[in-house]
């Protein structure tokens, strides 16, 4: 089996200006596909043949709907995969967290995943949706307590399962990827001296993850090679949840 031949060709990637989203978009382009990048700013800070960029807040339903209406024209056909990486990581002990801060995490991570999934489903004619959760949904964290973040990422696991059932009849698979500690601008663990070393010393993989570790999982789930996988959450965490 030639896995590269099963990769999607017309892909919408959110959060593509940075970190995991950028690595996913680069992977699509490297395989000869086209990518429509959505992020807060129109200028992703990088450019490449086959990449088109649109500015949009993933929780802004009107704007995201507008971009998905444009998608077939920009990509040369209906998207065959949507990889939703845009998200925010904010943590604070429960006692100090305001209801507005709770709402802000839920708005971007929760509502954003709903809006992008709904617009993706409307625009797609079969294919795959990949949503980004986090290991935070599966294990509490004493070092960086983030109730709103953890709950918002749990919502994404449930959303992927529900949509897999709801959209299966239209040939659309929906899965989530739950990264562990990945070296991107989002990582805050490295600000605490010794924290990364303490974590990786106990982690089966003995290292932080890279954006390519996560992008590879996203691209696999978006590809025809994962044609019989739906409603699943793939942990890309170096064994964090297993240990």
Ligand X SMILES: NC(=O)c1ccc[n+]([C@@H]2O[C@H](COP(=O)([O-])OP(=O)(O)OC[C@H]3O[C@@H](n4cnc5c(N)ncnc54)[C@H](O)[C@@H]3O)[C@@H](O)[C@H]2O)c1
Q: Which residues bind ligand X (CB under 6 A)?
A: 14-15, 17-21, 39-40, 57-59, 85-89, 108, 112, 132, 134, 179, 181-182, 184-187
What is the closest distance, in whole angstroms, from the C-beta atom of residue 241 to ligand X in the complex?
A: 12
Backbone angles phi, psi at 61, to 5 degrees: -65, -40
What is the closest distance, in whole angstroms, from the C-beta atom of residue 196 to ligand X in the complex?
A: 11
Nearer to ligand X, 57 or 212 (CB): 57
Nearer to ligand X, 39 or 119 (CB): 39
> Which strand ranges, in their side-by-side order, compose the sheet holding 172-179?
51-55, 34-39, 10-14, 81-84, 127-132, 172-179, 233-236
Which residue lies nearest ligand X, judged by its C-beta? 19
| Residue among 89, 149, 228, 240 flagged as catalytic | 149
How many Cβ atoms from other residues are within 10 Å of residue 198's Cβ?
Answer: 13
Nearer to ligand X, 57 or 232 (CB): 57
Nearer to ligand X, 21 or 127 (CB): 21
**Non-local CB neighbours of 5 within 8 Å, separated by 6+ positions:** none
For residues 50 and 66, what is the distance between their CA atoms, to the nearest angstrom?
A: 20
What is the closest distance, in whole angstroms, from the C-beta atom of residue 230 to ligand X in the complex?
A: 20
Instruction: Please classify residue 45 by burial: count the beta carbons closer than 10 Å to its beta carbon, then call 0-12 exposed, 13-18 middle and 19+ buried.
Output: exposed
What is the closest distance, in whole angstroms, from the C-beta atom of residue 242 to ligand X in the complex?
A: 16
What is the closest distance, in whole angstroms, from the C-beta atom of residue 16 to ligand X in the complex?
A: 7
149 assigned to active site:
yes
Strand-pairing partners, residue 236, are: 179
Nearer to ligand X, 45 or 227 (CB): 45
Pairing of the two strands 34-39 and 51-55: parallel
Q: Which residues are catalytic?
A: 149
């Amino acid at each position: 089996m030639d896995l590269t031949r099963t990769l999607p060709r017309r892909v919408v990637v959110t959060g593509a200006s940075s970190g995991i989203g950028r690595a996913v978009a680069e992977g699509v382009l490297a395989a000869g596909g086209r990518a429509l990048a959505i992020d807060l700013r129109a200028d992703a800070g990088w450019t490449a043949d086959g990449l088109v960029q649109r500015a949009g807040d993933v929780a802004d339903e009107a704007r995201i709907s507008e971009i998905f209406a444009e998608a077939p024209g920009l990509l040369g056909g209906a998207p065959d995969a949507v990889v939703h990486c845009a998200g925010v990581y904010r943590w604070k002990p429960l006692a100090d967290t305001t209801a507005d801060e709770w709402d802000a995490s839920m708005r971007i991570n929760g509502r954003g995943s709903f809006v992008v999934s709904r617009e993706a489903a409307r625009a797609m004619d079969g294919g795959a949706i990949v949503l980004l959760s986090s290991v935070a949904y599966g294990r509490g964290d004493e070092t960086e307590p983030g109730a709103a973040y953890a709950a918002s990422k749990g919502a994404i696991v449930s959303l992927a399962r529900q949509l897999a059932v709801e959209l299966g009849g239209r040939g659309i698979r929906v899965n989530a990827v739950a990264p562990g500690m990945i070296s991107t601008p989002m990582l805050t663990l490295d600000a605490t001296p010794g924290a990364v070393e303490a974590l990786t010393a106990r982690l089966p993989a003995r290292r932080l993850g890279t954006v390519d570790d996560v992008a590879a999982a996203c691209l696999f789930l978006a590809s025809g090679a994962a044609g019989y996988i739906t409603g699943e959450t793939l942990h890309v965490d170096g064994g964090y949840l297993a240990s």
